[in-house]
Amino acid sequence: MDNKKNLFIINSPLEFINAREAIYLFNLKNIIFLVIYNRSTNNITQLNEQLKDVNYGEIIQFYPSRRSSFFEYIKLIKQLKKYSYEKVFTGDLNDSNFRIIIANLVKEKLFLLDEGTSTIEEYEKKIKTNKLNRYKIKEFRYLLSGLRLKLNDDINFFTYYDFEPLFGGEVIRNKMKYIRKDFKRNHNDYSEIVFFLGQPEFIFADSIEINLIIKKIIQKYKDKKILYIPHREEKYKHSIKNIDKNIEILDLNKPIEKYFLDNGIYPKHVISYLSTALTTTKILFPECLVEYVKIKNPYNKSDINNFEIIYTYFEKDNILEFK
């Protein structure tokens, strides 16, 4: 009997959604979820809400210290090294702690799960250019504990995106079959509603562009109701509802994909900036008009090139530019 485990290292609600998809597609058994709580309170709340559904496998909940978590990670790695693994999945190879955990595990295959559009940037700028194994000085202390730093595995992708295989790895497209298998469409017509998905405001230089875009959307779709769904990291939502009386704030405690599916909603029109939910909406609801808004004035000017790369992937998936 094969006692190898299948490990999912996750720290966001979207990664958990994709983990469930992988379990369903690959028919995986002997599951371990390593849940690392190193993000915001809202992120943790949404993640824990989804974990309530899990009635199989083992869940390791890991809360790294805010100051120094070095010895905590060493203890965690030693705990995980007790097993060998068939497949290991993670949404982040850019995080040095995640990478060092994975480098020290015996595994047959390593998969990168999508963690938002940041996966595109990681693919294009780190993995494709073979720059993943770049170390900070503080990481070398792991060597003193007998641990490895270098990640030698071929990287496979379980992804929404049209990636090319790299360096011997494979690309398996995530068609989101698990999350939508029980979807039952309600009888409401959503053709007169625009679902506008917010973003964390730290990607913008100031709020002027946000206000301007919202006003343009209202002007173009003046006969429709605008439902604004704030991002879980967004703090600007309270002032958005003052822009126009046709805007209604829909504050969710779950990913938008789950909201649509749980309520039988087949959206007809979704708009956002860089949200991964544009891609997942198009996969789940192919007849939906999905538009992205180009960010002209980002907080970091260097991000413009990154955004343009993301836009090319949107266009491949028939996600159209709002004009």
Q: Which two tokens stand for residue 169?
A: 């790895």
- Identify the burial level of 310 via C-beta atoms within 10 angstroms of its C-beta, where 0-12 means exposed, 13-18 middle and 19 or more buried: buried
Tell me which CATH code domain 193-321 carries.
3.40.50
**pLDDT tens digits for range 137-162:** 888 999 999 999 999 999 999 999 99
For CA atoms 172, 178, 184, 188, the dihedral sign is negative
Per-residue model confidence (pLDDT) at position 67: 82
Contact call for residues 7 and 19 (beta carbons, < 8 A): no
pLDDT at 17 exceeding the cut of 70:
yes
CATH of 5-178, one of 1.10.287, 3.30.70, 3.40.50, 1.20.1250: 3.40.50
Per-residue model confidence (pLDDT) at position 2: 66
Per-residue model confidence (pLDDT) at position 236: 63
Q: Which two tokens stand for residue 194?
A: 């625009």
Question: Greater confidence, 245 or 189?
Answer: 189
The residues facing 289 across adjacent strands are 269
Nearest to residue 156, comparing CAs of 93, 102, 111?
111
Q: Which two tokens stand for residue 109?
A: 């295959």
Alpha helices (H) along the chain: 13-26, 41-51, 70-80, 96-103, 118-122, 177-180, 207-220, 237-240, 256-262, 277-284, 303-316
Give the Cα separation of 172 and 128 in Å (integer): 17
**pLDDT tens digits for range 93-111:** 988 889 999 999 999 999 9
Per-residue model confidence (pLDDT) at position 235: 67
* Percent residues over pLDDT 70 in the chain: 98
Give the Cα separation of 175 and 181 in Å (integer): 11
**pLDDT tens digits for range 223-277:** 899 999 988 777 666 677 777 777 889 988 889 999 999 999 999 999 999 999 9
Per-residue model confidence (pLDDT) at position 1: 43
Amino acid at 242: N
3-state class (DSSP) for residue 69: coil
User: What are the extents of the domains in the chain?
Assistant: 5-178, 193-321
Fold match flag (5-178 vs 193-321): yes
Give the Cα separation of 205 and 188 in Å (integer): 39
Q: Which two tokens stand for residue 90?
A: 């993670």
Per-residue model confidence (pLDDT) at position 39: 86
**pTM summary value:** 0.91
Contact call for residues 219 and 198 (beta carbons, < 8 A): no
Count CA atoms closer than 13 A to 226's CA, side-chain side. Answer: 25
Find the Cα–Cα–Cα–Cα dihedral 101, 103, 104, 106, rounded to 10°: 120
What is the chain's mean pLDDT, rounded?
A: 91
3-state class (DSSP) for residue 137: helix
